[in-house]
Amino acid sequence: MAHKLAIFNMKGGVGKSTSAYNLSTGLVRFHQKRVLLVDIDPQGHASAALGIPIWQIEKQLKDVLQRQVKIKDVILPTASGVDVAPSNILLAEEEIPISGLPGRELLLRKAIGAIANQYDYVLIDCPPNIGVFSVNALMASDAVLIPVDMSYLGLLGINGIERALSLVREQLDHPIDITGVLATRFDARNNLSKEVLKSLQDHFGSKVFQTLIPETVKLREAPSFSLSIFEHEPRGAGSKAYQDLVDEIIAIYE
Protein backbone atom coordinates (compact mmCIF):
# COMPACT_ATOMS: atom_id res chain seq x y z
CA MET A 1 0.00 0.00 0.00
CA ALA A 2 1.30 3.43 -0.94
CA HIS A 3 2.52 6.00 1.54
CA LYS A 4 0.22 8.97 0.93
CA LEU A 5 1.65 12.42 1.60
CA ALA A 6 -0.02 15.80 1.18
CA ILE A 7 2.33 18.69 0.44
CA PHE A 8 0.46 21.28 2.43
CA ASN A 9 0.74 24.91 3.48
CA MET A 10 -2.00 27.52 3.13
CA LYS A 11 0.59 30.18 2.40
CA GLY A 12 1.27 30.65 -1.29
CA GLY A 13 4.65 30.47 -2.97
CA VAL A 14 6.45 28.46 -0.29
CA GLY A 15 7.66 25.73 -2.64
CA LYS A 16 4.84 23.17 -2.41
CA SER A 17 4.74 22.44 -6.13
CA THR A 18 8.52 22.73 -6.52
CA SER A 19 8.93 20.18 -3.74
CA ALA A 20 6.10 17.95 -4.98
CA TYR A 21 7.49 17.46 -8.47
CA ASN A 22 11.17 17.25 -7.54
CA LEU A 23 10.53 14.88 -4.66
CA SER A 24 8.34 12.67 -6.88
CA THR A 25 11.00 12.60 -9.57
CA GLY A 26 13.74 11.87 -7.04
CA LEU A 27 11.86 8.92 -5.52
CA VAL A 28 11.68 7.36 -8.99
CA ARG A 29 15.17 8.34 -10.07
CA PHE A 30 17.21 7.39 -7.00
CA HIS A 31 15.08 4.68 -5.40
CA GLN A 32 13.07 3.21 -8.31
CA LYS A 33 9.83 3.85 -6.45
CA ARG A 34 6.44 3.82 -8.16
CA VAL A 35 5.13 7.34 -7.65
CA LEU A 36 1.81 9.01 -8.39
CA LEU A 37 1.59 12.79 -8.11
CA VAL A 38 -1.99 13.95 -7.57
CA ASP A 39 -2.37 17.61 -8.48
CA ILE A 40 -5.32 18.99 -6.55
CA ASP A 41 -4.33 22.61 -7.16
CA PRO A 42 -6.27 24.30 -10.01
CA GLN A 43 -3.06 26.17 -10.88
CA GLY A 44 -1.74 22.83 -12.19
CA HIS A 45 1.85 23.86 -11.50
CA ALA A 46 3.19 20.47 -10.45
CA SER A 47 1.54 18.82 -13.49
CA ALA A 48 3.01 21.46 -15.81
CA ALA A 49 6.48 21.17 -14.27
CA LEU A 50 6.40 17.43 -15.06
CA GLY A 51 5.65 18.25 -18.70
CA ILE A 52 1.88 17.71 -18.78
CA PRO A 53 0.30 20.07 -21.36
CA ILE A 54 -2.34 21.21 -18.85
CA TRP A 55 -4.38 23.16 -21.43
CA GLN A 56 -4.77 20.14 -23.68
CA ILE A 57 -5.75 17.41 -21.25
CA GLU A 58 -9.11 15.82 -21.95
CA LYS A 59 -9.76 14.32 -18.56
CA GLN A 60 -8.45 15.56 -15.27
CA LEU A 61 -8.80 15.27 -11.52
CA LYS A 62 -11.99 17.36 -11.40
CA ASP A 63 -13.77 14.63 -13.41
CA VAL A 64 -12.64 12.11 -10.80
CA LEU A 65 -13.85 14.26 -7.89
CA GLN A 66 -17.19 14.63 -9.68
CA ARG A 67 -17.29 10.83 -9.95
CA GLN A 68 -17.52 10.96 -13.73
CA VAL A 69 -14.40 8.88 -14.37
CA LYS A 70 -12.06 6.62 -12.42
CA ILE A 71 -8.70 8.01 -11.37
CA LYS A 72 -6.92 5.42 -13.53
CA ASP A 73 -8.52 7.05 -16.58
CA VAL A 74 -6.97 10.47 -15.93
CA ILE A 75 -3.47 9.33 -14.91
CA LEU A 76 -0.77 10.23 -17.42
CA PRO A 77 2.81 8.93 -17.54
CA THR A 78 5.63 11.48 -17.74
CA ALA A 79 9.22 11.35 -18.98
CA SER A 80 10.43 11.48 -15.38
CA GLY A 81 8.73 8.15 -14.64
CA VAL A 82 6.25 9.85 -12.30
CA ASP A 83 2.57 9.21 -13.04
CA VAL A 84 0.36 12.29 -12.72
CA ALA A 85 -3.34 12.86 -12.05
CA PRO A 86 -3.36 16.40 -13.50
CA SER A 87 -5.48 19.49 -12.99
CA ASN A 88 -5.97 22.86 -14.57
CA ILE A 89 -8.06 25.93 -13.82
CA LEU A 90 -11.31 24.11 -14.69
CA LEU A 91 -10.98 22.49 -11.27
CA ALA A 92 -11.48 25.90 -9.65
CA GLU A 93 -14.80 26.35 -11.48
CA GLU A 94 -16.07 23.14 -9.89
CA GLU A 95 -15.16 24.06 -6.33
CA ILE A 96 -18.70 25.08 -5.32
CA PRO A 97 -20.48 22.12 -6.96
CA ILE A 98 -17.93 19.69 -5.48
CA SER A 99 -18.37 21.32 -2.06
CA GLY A 100 -22.05 20.40 -2.24
CA LEU A 101 -21.54 16.69 -2.91
CA PRO A 102 -22.34 14.18 -0.17
CA GLY A 103 -19.15 12.83 1.41
CA ARG A 104 -17.33 15.77 -0.12
CA GLU A 105 -14.29 15.46 2.17
CA LEU A 106 -13.64 11.86 1.11
CA LEU A 107 -13.88 12.07 -2.67
CA LEU A 108 -10.12 11.91 -3.25
CA ARG A 109 -9.52 9.25 -0.58
CA LYS A 110 -12.08 6.97 -2.24
CA ALA A 111 -10.64 7.61 -5.69
CA ILE A 112 -7.06 6.87 -4.60
CA GLY A 113 -8.14 3.76 -2.68
CA ALA A 114 -8.75 1.99 -5.97
CA ILE A 115 -5.13 2.33 -7.15
CA ALA A 116 -3.07 2.80 -3.98
CA ASN A 117 -1.62 -0.73 -4.21
CA GLN A 118 -0.08 0.12 -7.59
CA TYR A 119 2.23 2.77 -6.10
CA ASP A 120 4.85 3.07 -3.37
CA TYR A 121 4.18 6.79 -2.85
CA VAL A 122 1.24 9.05 -3.66
CA LEU A 123 2.17 12.72 -3.30
CA ILE A 124 -0.64 15.27 -3.35
CA ASP A 125 0.15 18.89 -4.24
CA CYS A 126 -2.29 21.17 -2.39
CA PRO A 127 -3.55 24.64 -3.32
CA PRO A 128 -2.66 27.58 -1.04
CA ASN A 129 -5.85 27.56 1.02
CA ILE A 130 -7.90 25.31 3.27
CA GLY A 131 -10.92 24.80 1.04
CA VAL A 132 -12.55 21.57 -0.07
CA PHE A 133 -9.56 20.54 -2.21
CA SER A 134 -7.01 20.80 0.60
CA VAL A 135 -9.38 19.00 2.97
CA ASN A 136 -9.72 16.20 0.39
CA ALA A 137 -5.92 16.01 0.14
CA LEU A 138 -5.53 15.82 3.92
CA MET A 139 -8.27 13.20 4.28
CA ALA A 140 -6.64 11.10 1.54
CA SER A 141 -3.19 11.26 3.17
CA ASP A 142 -1.48 9.48 6.05
CA ALA A 143 0.75 12.46 6.69
CA VAL A 144 1.66 15.97 5.59
CA LEU A 145 4.92 17.41 4.42
CA ILE A 146 4.90 21.12 5.23
CA PRO A 147 7.21 23.36 3.23
CA VAL A 148 7.83 26.67 5.01
CA ASP A 149 9.63 29.54 3.32
CA MET A 150 12.15 31.48 5.35
CA SER A 151 10.05 34.60 5.98
CA TYR A 152 8.29 36.20 8.90
CA LEU A 153 4.91 35.59 7.26
CA GLY A 154 5.92 31.99 6.68
CA LEU A 155 6.38 31.59 10.40
CA LEU A 156 3.14 33.40 11.16
CA GLY A 157 1.30 30.86 8.99
CA ILE A 158 2.29 27.91 11.22
CA ASN A 159 -0.59 28.62 13.56
CA GLY A 160 -3.11 28.29 10.73
CA ILE A 161 -1.55 25.04 9.52
CA GLU A 162 -1.79 23.53 13.00
CA ARG A 163 -5.42 24.63 13.30
CA ALA A 164 -6.23 23.00 9.97
CA LEU A 165 -4.57 19.74 11.05
CA SER A 166 -6.44 19.82 14.39
CA LEU A 167 -9.69 20.31 12.54
CA VAL A 168 -9.00 17.27 10.40
CA ARG A 169 -8.01 15.20 13.44
CA GLU A 170 -10.81 16.27 15.75
CA GLN A 171 -13.77 17.23 13.55
CA LEU A 172 -13.16 14.76 10.74
CA ASP A 173 -11.66 12.03 12.91
CA HIS A 174 -8.62 11.45 10.72
CA PRO A 175 -5.35 10.92 12.61
CA ILE A 176 -3.07 12.67 10.16
CA ASP A 177 0.61 12.80 11.04
CA ILE A 178 3.36 15.28 10.16
CA THR A 179 6.09 13.58 8.11
CA GLY A 180 8.22 16.65 8.32
CA VAL A 181 8.58 20.39 8.06
CA LEU A 182 10.77 21.50 5.19
CA ALA A 183 12.70 24.79 5.29
CA THR A 184 12.51 26.18 1.77
CA ARG A 185 13.97 29.15 -0.10
CA PHE A 186 16.80 29.23 2.41
CA ASP A 187 19.43 31.91 1.92
CA ALA A 188 22.45 31.33 4.13
CA ARG A 189 23.62 34.97 3.67
CA ASN A 190 20.42 36.20 5.22
CA ASN A 191 19.93 36.38 8.99
CA LEU A 192 16.17 36.08 8.62
CA SER A 193 16.58 32.61 7.07
CA LYS A 194 18.61 31.47 10.09
CA GLU A 195 16.17 33.01 12.57
CA VAL A 196 13.11 31.46 10.90
CA LEU A 197 14.86 28.07 10.76
CA LYS A 198 15.72 28.32 14.46
CA SER A 199 12.09 29.14 15.33
CA LEU A 200 10.88 26.18 13.26
CA GLN A 201 13.33 23.86 15.02
CA ASP A 202 12.31 25.19 18.45
CA HIS A 203 8.65 24.60 17.58
CA PHE A 204 8.75 21.32 15.65
CA GLY A 205 11.95 19.75 17.03
CA SER A 206 13.09 16.69 15.11
CA LYS A 207 10.15 16.98 12.70
CA VAL A 208 12.15 19.63 10.81
CA PHE A 209 14.04 17.92 8.00
CA GLN A 210 17.83 18.19 8.17
CA THR A 211 17.75 19.17 4.52
CA LEU A 212 17.44 22.88 3.77
CA ILE A 213 16.17 23.81 0.31
CA PRO A 214 18.24 26.75 -0.93
CA GLU A 215 16.86 29.65 -2.95
CA THR A 216 18.40 29.17 -6.40
CA VAL A 217 17.78 30.48 -9.89
CA LYS A 218 17.98 26.92 -11.27
CA LEU A 219 15.14 25.71 -9.02
CA ARG A 220 13.06 28.65 -10.19
CA GLU A 221 13.68 28.13 -13.89
CA ALA A 222 13.59 24.30 -14.10
CA PRO A 223 9.76 24.09 -14.54
CA SER A 224 9.95 26.27 -17.66
CA PHE A 225 11.93 23.45 -19.33
CA SER A 226 9.63 20.75 -17.89
CA LEU A 227 12.68 19.38 -16.14
CA SER A 228 13.29 18.32 -12.58
CA ILE A 229 16.22 19.94 -10.83
CA PHE A 230 18.10 16.64 -11.21
CA GLU A 231 18.11 17.06 -14.98
CA HIS A 232 18.29 20.84 -15.10
CA GLU A 233 21.30 21.23 -12.81
CA PRO A 234 22.44 17.77 -11.73
CA ARG A 235 25.43 18.97 -9.72
CA GLY A 236 23.90 22.12 -8.24
CA ALA A 237 22.86 22.95 -4.70
CA GLY A 238 19.15 22.54 -5.46
CA SER A 239 19.69 19.07 -6.87
CA LYS A 240 21.80 18.00 -3.88
CA ALA A 241 19.17 19.33 -1.46
CA TYR A 242 16.22 17.58 -3.08
CA GLN A 243 18.21 14.33 -3.32
CA ASP A 244 18.97 14.63 0.40
CA LEU A 245 15.27 15.20 1.06
CA VAL A 246 14.37 12.10 -0.95
CA ASP A 247 16.84 10.10 1.15
CA GLU A 248 15.35 11.47 4.39
CA ILE A 249 11.86 10.46 3.27
CA ILE A 250 13.08 6.98 2.34
CA ALA A 251 14.77 6.66 5.74
CA ILE A 252 11.48 7.55 7.44
CA TYR A 253 9.35 5.08 5.51
CA GLU A 254 11.62 2.10 4.70
Ligand X SMILES: Nc1ncnc2c1ncn2[C@@H]1O[C@H](COP(=O)(O)OP(=O)(O)OP(=O)(O)O)[C@@H](O)[C@H]1O
Q: CB under 5 to 8 A by kind: which of Mg ion, ligand X, none does 18 bind?
A: ligand X
Residue from 2, 5, 6, 14 in contact with ligand X (CB under 6 A): 14
Among 2, 5, 14, 17, binds Mg ion (CB under 5 A): 17
Cα(172)–Cα(139) distance, rounded to whole angstroms? 8
C-alpha separations of 32 from 5, 28, 29, 120 in Å: 18, 4, 6, 10
Residue 17, interface with ligand X (CB under 6 A)? yes
**Angle subtended by helix axes 16-31 and 237-253, to nearest 10:** 70
101 versus 146: smaller Cβ distance to Mg ion: 146
Inter-residue contact 173 to 143 (CB < 8 Å): no
Binds ligand X (CB under 6 A): choice among 128, 154, 157, 180: 128
Nearest distance, CB of residue 113 and ligand X, angstroms: 26
**Binding span for ligand X by CB under 6 A among 85-93, 152-160, 161-169, 216-224:** 216-224
By CB under 5 A, residue 3 contacts Mg ion: no
Distances (CA, A) of 47 to 116, 126, 146, 173, 242: 19, 12, 19, 30, 18
- The residues in 171-210 that bind ligand X, with binding defined as CB under 6 A, are 184-185
* Residues 95 and 131 sit within 8 Å (Cβ to Cβ): yes
List the one residue from 4, 6, 8, 16 that touches ligand X (CB under 6 A). Answer: 16
3-class state of residue 38 by DSSP: strand
Residues that bind ligand X (CB under 6 A): 12-18, 41, 43, 45, 128, 184-185, 213, 215-216, 219-220, 223
